[in-house]
Structure 1
Amino acid sequence: MKFQQLQQQFVAYLREPDKNERPVNVEQERLDVYRELLFNNVSGFVCAAFPVLKSLYSEQAWQQRLQLFFAKYRCDNPFFLSIAQSFLDFLQHQYQLQPDDPVFMLELAHYEWLELDLATRKAQAWVAITDLKQQALQLSELSSVQAYQYQVQQICTEFQPTEPQASFLLIYRDPHDEVKFIALNQLTTLLLQLLEQQPGLSFAALIELVSPYVPQLDYAQLSAGAEALLTDFVQKGIVHAFQAG
């Protein structure tokens, strides 16, 4: 048997020993130890990244899902943090939902992954805003605006919703490197989404884009409300001056 074939057989057995033949001339005990080390390493990062999701399953049910992921995981990125992204991708694109999976499973997994992503994301130095109405604006790279069907920020073993209830959130990393969230109304969500999608908007341009969605507010009312909101977000480091490139 060629080395490449032996290598493929070895990897296939480590992924799914119940479905693949044991490589020849390799002791069973050595295979078991090696597989256990690899599996525990990968599953340890998944458990650390998705603690709330893990807490909603029995140990046996959670291990079953980890085994399914381990069998599919290709480890094409050298960074350990990418394991969480791979697990989320697995749930979104390869995993078949089971009857005992909560209806909010995918949204909760995304929310927990986003918390980790923001906690470890690198951002360039930013320029503070000195004149909100004159400088071009952008949302911080350490912030993300999200709309979920379920209130993922409240889910725990004691609170597991079965019916959708929309949740609009700003998830961000504060100056002390703590990841936090702010519950938003639809208007504030729209305002921040525009800044996120179109960095470099001026205050006047932002108001002009938002205005058609709130015809009940005149320009002065909308401008005053947006100014108060954005001033608060500037103080929190969530909105800052636009930097090209």
Structure 2
Amino acid sequence: MAERVDGLRPRFQQLQYAFTAHLRDPEQHPGPAGIEERRLRVYRELFYNNVEGFLANAFPVIRQLLPDAHWHGLVRDFYARHQCRDPLFNGVAEEFVRYLQDERGTPPEDPAFLPELAHYEWVELALSIAEDAPHPDRAELGAGKVSLADPNGDLLAAPPYVSPLAWTLGYDYPVHRIGPQFQPGEPGAETTWLVVYRSRQDEVRFLEINAVTARLLSLAEEQPEASGAELIARIASELGTAATSLMAPGLAMLQGLREREVILGTRRPAPPAT
């Protein structure tokens, strides 16, 4: 039976906790007694470099914008403070976004747009590995495949089918324009609306849209049985204008989204249960 040193954990677990605490934050937690400093340093560098290297690849714009000392201080703070819940290494990027949004706070040296830029960069990674099939005719129901969308359907008469790999996102900052030559200090005057989507060629693409298009996509997902004409009429009502005045531009909007594979066609009725 394992020896217990505190009435709660066996001794080997105490050593494990001390070792991992030291790896995460060596300034606050000394290494376990009896382990050579040279060996501890090898492990510290190995673990930190793995995490830092992955984050640098996942957030290339942030890495480019922040000076080395600022970047490494940020990563070390995340590494020491945040408890990751995702066991997969790809989940570290999402955990980093969560840390920036909920735990980091607002240090004066951080750009105010940092949490939103991190989310925007994470979306590209998340969509690139998402398992949802972008092709409507690949959907699995029961033992076989069925077509969920008619790619040539009438977008006014039938419900538009929004790709499950098209995400409508709103940001206070124009995150898609941020880079070395443009780093805004204040939010934009209006919300920046973007659709980030994965094409049939498995390429992640970005499209800037306006608030009306964002509302149309949102309604199409909230009301999957509503036809394109009904969705446009709903938006016209919200804008306080006649539905007839929006039908032509609304149809052009839907067709443009279908050409870009944000909308995959029109939704087919669900097949009868067997």
Fold match by TM threshold 0.5:
yes
1:93-242 equivalences under 5 Å are 93-124=102-133, 125-126=135-136, 127-131=149-153, 132-165=155-188, 166=190, 167-216=192-241, 218-240=242-264, 241-242=266-267
Q: Percent identity?
A: 36
Of 188-197 and 27-36, more deviation after overlay is shown by 188-197
The answer (yes or no) to whether the contact 1:139–1:199 under 8 Å persists in 2 is no
Query: What TM-score results when the alignment is normalised by the length of structure 2?
Result: 0.83
Alpha-carbon displacement from aligned partner over 1:44-68 (angstroms, at most 9, x marks no partner): 1111111111212110110000000
Instruction: List structure 1 runs of 4+ shifted beyond 4 angstroms.
Output: none
Alpha-carbon displacement from aligned partner over 1:133-181 (angstroms, at most 9, x marks no partner): 3433232111111111111100001101122213111111222222222
Per the TM alignment, residue 115 of structure 1 is displaced from its structure 2 partner at its CA by 1.5
Of 230-239 and 86-95, more deviation after overlay is shown by 230-239
The answer (yes or no) to whether the contact 1:191–1:210 under 8 Å persists in 2 is yes
Q: Which amino acid aligns with 1:11?
A: T
- CA RMSD between the two structures: 1.9
Q: Which amino acid aligns with 2:201?
A: H
Alpha-carbon displacement from aligned partner over 1:193-242 (angstroms, at most 9, x marks no partner): 222344343223312321222223x2222121111111121122211244
For residue 229 of structure 1, give the secondary structure of its aligned residue in structure 2: helix
1-structure distance, mates of 2:218, 2:181: 32
Q: Which amino acid aligns with 1:39?
A: Y
What's the counterpart of residue 85 of structure 2? 76
- Which of the pair has more CA radius of gyration? 2
Per the TM alignment, residue 93 of structure 1 is displaced from its structure 2 partner at its CA by 0.9
Q: Does 1:5 align with 2:14?
A: yes
Per the TM alignment, residue 75 of structure 1 is displaced from its structure 2 partner at its CA by 4.0
For residue 112 of structure 2, give the secondary structure of its aligned residue in structure 1: coil
Distance 1:100 1:31, change over 3 A: same
Q: Which amino acid aligns with 1:137?
A: P
What number of residue pairs does the alignment pair up? 244
Distance 1:54 1:196, change over 3 A: farther
The answer (yes or no) to whether the contact 1:49–1:116 under 8 Å persists in 2 is yes
